[in-house]
Structure 1
Amino acid sequence: MGSPMRETVEQAYATCAEITRAEARNFSYGIRLLPPPKRSALCALYALARRIDDIGDGTLPATEKRDALARVRKDLGRLGEADDPVLLAVADAARRYPVPLTAFEELLDGVEHDLEPVRIGDIEELIRYCRCVAGSVGRLCLSVFGSHGTDPALASQYADQLGIALQQINILRDVREDLVGGRVYLPADELEQHGVELRLDDRGALEDPQARLAGYLRFAAGRAEDWYGLGLRLVPHLDSRSAASCRAMAGIYHRLLARIEAEPSSVYDRRLSLSTGEKARVAMASLIGVGRT
């Protein structure tokens, strides 16, 4: 019979797994491919990252959001005292894997940045933002995946680059939704160079009377593809199950990127997504190692 503490930790991991099943629309397909110990740990890290994102995306006033983010920062400094199930599971995962808890601090910085109207000035600012909110997640995943036959710093760099790539894809997918929310992550200097002014028409769709926005989105998609190629160099340095998980998570986003590049107008009036069947096929192909996702 297990100890009460062990049962409590197991219950905490079960809570995190349930959060992941309910909320991780894309990542859950890759997480499922991991062996149980790594799956549990990654669910715990995802659940805390989800909590942070939900604070930023919620309906509370900005001052209350800042207070909530400050409480998470404080919680990170006292994980050993945690009785909250998500924090308890993260604390246990950090004992079993080299989890870089500072990556959560970076994620908090990125989410706090989003509490005010966002205007990104140039590509350097965009990459810094992507590194905070998604490169950090890539490095958290790597801490559970583990790597072999490579310099840990190099593996961390690849994970960071893959996270930056996926965030750029998110930005392209969500350009309309973000504009409605007062956020523009596409670099202002590039929009000006391409003659693009982001506006909504009477139907609430993005305007593009001269196809300049379509041309710009193809340009930005090409850059995201370059970052994706850099980040995917991580895969050969992972064990087979972790590599499959990584390919599945990244591959779903890569499919979205291909659709945006082929038809930029597909994001003008809706949030583009893959069907459940398409996501499952990407995950299955990743598990059996078919092709480059």
Structure 2
Amino acid sequence: MTARELDAAGITDPHLRRSYAVCRRLNARHGKTYFLATRLLPVARRPAVHALYGFARWADDIVDDPRIAPTPEQRDRALADLEQRLRTELHPGSAVPVLSALAHTAAAYRIDHALFTDFMASMRMDLVVTDYPTYRHLYDYMHGSAAVIGLQMLPVLGCRVPREEAAPHAAALGIAFQLTNFLRDVGEDLDRGRIYLPADVLERHRVDRELLQWCREVRRVPPHVREALREVAAHTQDVYRRAEPGIAMLDPLAQPCIRTAFTLYRGILDEIESAGYAVLHRRVAVPRGRRARVAADGLRRLALARMRHRAPAPGAAPPTARRNLTP
């Protein structure tokens, strides 16, 4: 399948093909929901998504995977090295496969390099910031860690409207996905010394770091902790509602992919509620059967979209390299 995707994207250089293959493996191994949704994109656009994911995953692993950088000093040096490589090696011939694929994607889809710089700034925050007093502080972090991911994806997906009209919704969707991850992974993040739930929300419900740690250790969720988590979930649902209108602004052939990702990620919130917000000692996931049904619906939507809109021929310019598509 990798060769088919690369052929459809017109990527023939052997070094670039190997670079994109590395990114695809990262996506398949770590981003299961994301990877499933990506399979619903037109074949020619999938390598670009793999490249964007591969870069984000590489930086995230530096921060969170002790096998890559065991100590704070090593994490700091590794991030500094990546930032330097971004400044000097962001070109398709880079010896670093992820950067080679990223550079090729950025050039092909005219992605602003400042979005990668903003992402790295948030990764650096993870080295020193362990909690966030309010949503305003958390959103400052999520601009670089989540909103820019949506903005990077937008040129790859293509728009039916001017890009600046779709951009706020794309940014909101990135934030909604990350807020969902924060709720799902609150226990794992606590093990890393971080809390991504606003402190003022927790305080309103008489919850603090020590209580969350106790909940994780004894595998219990007292009612007031559950209420704090429910409030964060309600805020996240509001962000999904702000993001949803943007799906219809996308190229029709990209909409089934994003609708599938939207439904699956939002479904994690449903599963968290069904589990009684017991996320501090277990990882909640959308059941395999539900994932299969959502994926099947995505395939149905994609088949309808293909019937209504002829896909570009292999090797054609990406959507944003042409004028914006009209409805």
Instruction: Provide TM-score, normalisation by structure 1.
Output: 0.90
Rate the CA distance shift 1:206–1:160 in 2: closer, same or farther, 3 A: farther
Contact 2:215 2:281 in 1 (8 A): no
Q: Using a 3 Å threshold, how does the CA distance of structure 1 residues 207 and 116 change in structure 2: closer, same or farther?
A: farther
Using the TM superposition, give the Cα deviation of residue 236 of structure 1 relative to its aligned residue in structure 2, in angstroms.
0.5
Structure 2 segments unaligned to the other structure (5+ residues): 1-6, 303-327
Matched, 1:226 2:238: yes
Q: How many residues are matched?
A: 286
Q: Check if 1:13 corresponds to 2:20.
A: yes
- The residue that corresponds to 1:279 in the other structure is 291
Select the residue among 51, 62, 76 that pairs with 2:72: 62
Residue 47 of structure 2 corresponds to residue 47 of structure 1: no
Correspondent of 2:37 among 30, 35, 48: 30
Equivalent residue for 2:81, pick from 65, 68, 71: 71
1:205: Cα distance to partner?
Answer: 4.2
Equivalent residues in 2 for 1:1-293, closer than 5 Å:
6-59=13-66, 60-77=70-87, 78-80=89-91, 82-116=94-128, 118-148=130-160, 150-197=161-208, 198-201=211-214, 204-205=217-218, 207-209=220-222, 211-289=223-301
Q: Could you tell me whether the CA contact under 8 Å between 1:199 and 1:206 is conserved in 2?
A: no
The Cα of 1:224 is off from its aligned counterpart by 0.3
For 2:133 and 2:214, the matched residues in 1 are separated by 24
What runs of 5+ residues in structure 1 fail to find an aligned partner? none
**Residues 142 and 243 of structure 1: is their aligned pair in 2 closer, same or farther, counting only changes over 3 Å?**
same
CA distance in 2, matches of 1:117, 1:130: 13
CA contact (8 A) 2:38 2:46 kept: yes
* Contact 1:20–1:47, Cα closer than 8 Å, also in 2: yes
**1:173·1:272 contact (CA, 8 Å) conserved in 2?**
yes
In structure 2, the CA distance between the partners of 1:239 and 1:47, relative to structure 1 (3 Å rule), is same
Residues 38-78 of structure 1 deviation map (CA, whole Å, 9 limit, x = unaligned): 10111011111110110010222112212211222222223
Post-superposition offset of 1:95:
2.0
* Inter-partner Cα distance in structure 2 for 1:38 and 1:282: 21
Instruction: Give the root-mean-square deviation of aligned CA atoms.
Output: 2.2
Equivalent residues of 1:200, 1:206 under 8 A apart:
no
Please identify, of 162-171 and 77-86, the stretch whose mean Cα deviation from structure 2 is larger.
77-86
Identity %: 31
| 1:76 partner amino acid | L
Distance 1:273 1:218, change over 3 A: same
Whole-Å separation in 2 of the counterparts to 1:202 and 1:151 = 47
Aligned equivalents of 2:162 and 2:219: distance in 1? Answer: 45
Secondary structure at 1:121's aligned position in 2?
Answer: coil
Distance (whole Å) between structure 1 residues aligned to residue 237 and residue 256 of structure 2? 20
Write the distance in 2 (CA, Å) between the matches of 1:288 and 1:86. Answer: 33
Structure 1 residues 202 and 14: CA distance shift in structure 2, 3 A: closer
Structure 1 pair 120–275 and aligned structure 2 pair: CA distance change class (3 A): same
State the alpha-carbon separation in 2 of the partners of residues 193 and 203 from structure 1. 20
Give the superposition deviation at 1:181: 1.9
Evaluate the alpha carbon distance shift between residue 11 and residue 245 of structure 1 in structure 2; reply closer, same or farther with a 3 A threshold. same
**In the aligned structure 2, how far is the partner of 1:138 from the partner of 1:83?**
27
TM-score between the two structures when normalised by the length of structure 2 = 0.81
Match of 2:319 in 1: none
